[in-house]
Amino acid sequence: MLTLWETLRTRLRRDRLHRLLWEMVEIYSPSGKEEDIQLFLEATLQQAGLTVHREILDETRFNLRCVIGEGEPDFYLVGHVDTVADWELQGEGPCQKGGILHGLGTADMKSGCAAMVEAFLTLAENLPPEKRPSVGLLLVVGEEEDGAGSLAFLAERRPAWVVIGEPTGLLACCGHYGYLEVTLTTTGRRSHSCLPEHGHNAVESMLRVLLYLGRAPLLRKPGSGLVYSIREMNSSQAGFVVPDRCETWIDLHLPPTLDLDKTIAALRRRLATASRTIAGLELEIEFPWASRSYDLGIDHWPGHTLAALYPHLQRPLAFAAFRSHSDGNLFHEKGCRPLLLGPGALETAHTWEEQVPLEEVDLAAAIYLGLCLAAPGPREPHLSREENSPEEDGLEQIID
């Protein structure tokens, strides 16, 4: 596999890859408005002679699925084409400074999608159809909101392995944090703003709840790895009055060492005692979204493949757990094994400083290419991994 990969990666076209990424970043594609970028990517793949299937979600939203090789692949490259909504940031457009591309979606995760497309284009241009590995490319919508695109795919297909191009700085994330969304609602009593003593301020109650929760042993335990973030707070908008309602959304990211159910139980116990110190507290607690963490270990064919590839890229291989919520949680819950690996860093995603080093984008394309070549064949239980390996198919001999 390495001989073939070394040959093919010299045929990756950096100029095409960089141009593709630039054009993708120019297209504004927040969740719910992904049609334009999907039409662009569909045409790009079709022009290379690849067959592209639409997975329809509604009248204007669809995934793109491209399969090469024989049979239904047991390995997919997966990327989401949507971004967070930020028209002001999008108005700036892409901007390259040295070897860094700046712009909305550069890291999360149009660079990963572009690198995957370039890997597929290179396979299509250099291998005849009967010699291509059995792999799939899936470009989904809706990841930044509810994972609708991935859920639509998983309703029909469950590949054994997927690699998702989230921004990991090319770290191989075989582990994944869990995610818990917490909604707190305090209720008070409305009164005129100049007469607060006649009301009960729901915002003041909420602030006391958050201070009380922030002192919980669960959130203060050193080395636990738990990530606690207050994301949003809203109060009733009723003019010149004491607010009678306040809502807060909290994000919790749980490392694979923390149990989701025990964490929920600990939060409930802590909040159930808040009324002992907060007078007149009326508090509602909800958990609208919960995803479990996972850890796949490193002893598997993707891990072994990456260990073989990285020395040739003059880059150290490191394994980690992905800290944010992603479609990886959804794939794992449905029985797939998701490894997250892509260019860019979470530190800049969703910010005005979002950026990606173009060198990482180039390396990502080479890594995705190598994983495609090493992937097991289509799901045929009577064939072992060795019986269906690319090496024994003689792929090395078909390159001029």
Asked if 338 and 105 count as a contact pair (C-beta separation under 8 A), the reply is no
- Proportion of the chain above pLDDT 70, given as a percent: 94
| Average pLDDT, integer, range 252-276 | 96
74 token code pair? 């047991």
Q: What is the mean pLDDT of the segment spanning 222-245?
A: 91
The answer to whether the Cα torsion of 295, 301, 302, 305 is positive or negative is: positive
CB contact set of 70 (below 8 Å; sequence gap of 6+): 130, 134, 377, 378
Q: For the segment 89-134, what is each residue's pLDDT rounded down to a tens digit?
A: 777 789 999 999 999 999 999 999 999 999 999 999 999 999 999 9
Per CATH, is 2-175+293-398 categorized as 3.40.630.10?
yes
Average pLDDT, the chain: 92
Residue with the two structure tokens 């749980």 = 254
Is a pLDDT exceeding 70 seen at residue 388? no
**pLDDT tens, 270-324?**
999 999 999 999 999 999 999 999 999 999 999 999 999 999 999 999 999 999 9
Helix axes 301-309, 2-9, angle to 10 degrees: 60
Alpha-carbon gap, residue 190 to 100, rounded angstroms: 52
The matching CATH number, chosen from 3.40.50.720, 1.10.3720.10, 3.30.70.360, 3.20.130.10, for 178-291 is 3.30.70.360
**Helices (H), ranges, 141-241:** 148-154, 202-214, 217-220
The answer to whether 155 and 329 have CB atoms below 8 angstroms apart is no
Work out the pLDDT band at 380, boundaries 50, 70, 90: low
Query: Could you tell me the residue ranges of all domains in the chain?
Result: 2-175+293-398, 178-291
Contact predicate 129/305, CB 8 Å:
no
Other CB atoms within 10 A of residue 32 CB:
16
Rounded distance, CA 92 to CA 353, Å? 12
Per-residue model confidence (pLDDT) at position 210? 97
pLDDT of residue 384: 35
pLDDT tops 80 at residue 382: no
Confidence at 8, pLDDT banded by 50, 70, 90? very high
